[in-house]
Amino acid sequence: MTTQSQSQQFYTLDQFKQAADAIRSQTDHRPEIALVLGSGLSPLADEITDANIIPYQDIPHFPHSGAPGHAGRLVIGKLGDKTVLVMQGRTHFYEGYSPQHITFPIRVMSVLGIKTLILTNAAGGVNRQFQAGDLMLITDHLNFVGMAGFHPLRGPNLDEFGPRFPSMTEPYNPELIGLAGEVAGQNNLSLRQGVYAYLAGPSFETPAEIRMLAALGADAVGMSTVPEAIIANHSGIRVLGISSITNVAVAAFGSGLETTHEEVLATGKTIVPRLMLLLKGILEKLP
Ligand code: HPA
């Protein structure tokens, strides 16, 4: 019997190619733009037309999730006038997968010729100005899980994807951030910008941890996105990161407030229409 925790630690170029071949054999679309949909944001994929749908379990070596609110399938088709590859649901470190397995799909995207990746997630607001329901463009991140040794690039470097020691000075593409800002302006959408702190979870943060994150410069906190952003950057894929602030993180002990997964999913749902408007506008402006 195999379990998720037995997921192979390092993958070979051949394994990424096998997965890419399996995807290519099931669709005639050849997308150059990919999207990853976070908690509660799955409904975005329902707008895709002319779609080929591939369950993750049908793709060799692909991680598949059991987390509630995370469907596990690729939806490849048209959104507006663009061909997109959408991951409806992602896997997380807290489920027992290695950082290398979580990011397996991103390298498959690279093999498939994806040039632009839009990562979405649900996040807790750490910045006191933020409110539940806000959208935040990620300008930078704090990779706490990577700093603790669980880095997605740990292991033999595959030079075919990128260098051993990649730069991370612009993990989120400034041009894409600018473009998202323009779209927000044109549609009267208010958009925050900030630093996303990546923690392993699955427990939400204690009030002291939230105060620590704020002191270290975090604006939002979550349990995903950063490993994917790093692997995409490594192979030269441009990344845009968008957080749905689904709750305000609790920074005071004894406040009587509590963060729950239900709240995260419910607020995520209310954000979907605005996120969809933003994403469609961005896609329109992409080459
Ligand atoms: N903390 C961590 N991850 C999250 C949160 C949070 O408050 N909200 C949504 N994802």
CA of 138 to the centre of ligand 1 (A): 15
Comparing CA positions, the residue from 273, 282, 228, 203 lying closest to residue 90 is 228
Could you tell me the CATH number of the domain that includes residue 236?
3.40.50.1580
Alpha-carbon torsion, ordered 195, 196, 197, 201, to 10 deg: 170
Structural element, H or E, at residue 111: helix 104-112
Instruction: List pLDDT tens digits, range 44-60.
Output: 888 899 999 999 999 99
CA of 264 to the centre of ligand 1 (A): 7
The DSSP code sequence of 223-286 is: SSSHHHHHHHHHTT-EEEEEEEEEEEPP-STTS-----HHHHHHHHHHHHHHHHHHHHHHHHH-
Active site residues: 39, 70, 92, 94-95, 122, 223-224, 247, 261
Predicted TM-score (pTM) of this structure: 0.93
How many CB atoms are closer than 10 A to CB 277? 15
Comparing CA positions, the residue from 162, 159, 164, 179 lying closest to residue 239 is 179
- 61 contact partners, CB below 8 Å, separation of at least 6: 8, 11, 15, 16, 18, 19, 104
pLDDT at res. 67: 55
Strand partners for 124: 221, 247
**Which of 89-93, 109-113, 117-121 comes out lowest in average pLDDT?**
89-93
Q: What percent of the chain has pLDDT over 90?
A: 77
Instruction: List pLDDT tens digits, range 154-186.
Output: 999 999 999 999 999 999 999 999 999 999 999
- Nearest residue (by CA) to ligand 1, atom 2, is 222
Alpha-carbon torsion, ordered 255, 144, 228, 251, to 10 deg: 10
Q: Would the pLDDT of 68 be above 60?
A: no
Is 124's C-beta closer than 6 angstroms to any atom of ligand 1?
Answer: yes
CA of 251 to the centre of ligand 1 (A): 13
How many CB atoms are closer than 10 A to CB 200? 13
**Which amino acid is present at 159?**
D
Structural domains in the chain (count):
1
Taking CA 172 as the corner, what is the angle to CA 131 and CA 137, rounded to the nearest 5 degrees? Answer: 15
**Which amino acid is present at 59?**
I
Is 123's C-beta closer than 6 angstroms to any atom of ligand 1?
Answer: yes
Cis status, amide bond into 60, omega within 30 of 0: no
Structural element, H or E, at residue 259: none
* CA 21/CA 209 separation, integer angstroms: 43
Mean pLDDT confidence for 263-284: 86
Q: What is the mean pLDDT of the chain?
A: 91
* CA 207/CA 40 separation, integer angstroms: 24
What is the span of the domain harbouring residue 260? 4-285
pLDDT at res. 2: 47
Is 40's C-beta closer than 6 angstroms to any atom of ligand 1?
Answer: no
Is 278's C-beta closer than 6 angstroms to any atom of ligand 1?
Answer: no
The DSSP code sequence of 37-96 is: E-TT-GGGGGG-EEEEEEEGGGSTT------TT---EEEEEEETTEEEEEEES---GGGT
